[in-house]
Structure 1
């Protein structure tokens, strides 16, 4: 049984969001993507449970189903 928590567990979610936005401030798109990738890897390592990380990846990917199906870098 999974232990993935999808509800907010922050006392102040807005403070987390502000920190996340601040971390990306003044970065290029490439740097922003690299920051996100590094953050994902750091947090996945901190969790240290492949089942939970896998569930989180599946959950995150499922949130993309309503977005346009345009490959990264493609233009319209």
Structure 2
């Protein structure tokens, strides 16, 4: 069974953050929310493991 990896595995996190910000640049709030929803679904499909996805959902909701 796979487990959720929460430590940083992105070689250049600042580059990723910049790309993420650029992706949302000049979008309305509605368009930005749509991009986020699509991104979540694409990454969930890539992960594919339901237990890992459920754990990620729990972690993401914690403290909100």
| TM-score normalized with structure 2 length | 0.93
Q: Which protein is richer in helix relative to its size?
A: 2
Structure 1: gaps of 5 or more residues: 65-76
Larger Rg: 1
Aligned length: 64
CA RMSD across the alignment: 1.1
Structure 2: gaps of 5 or more residues: none
- Of structures 1 and 2, the one with the larger relative CO (CA 8 A, separation 6+) is 2
| TM-score normalized with structure 1 length | 0.79
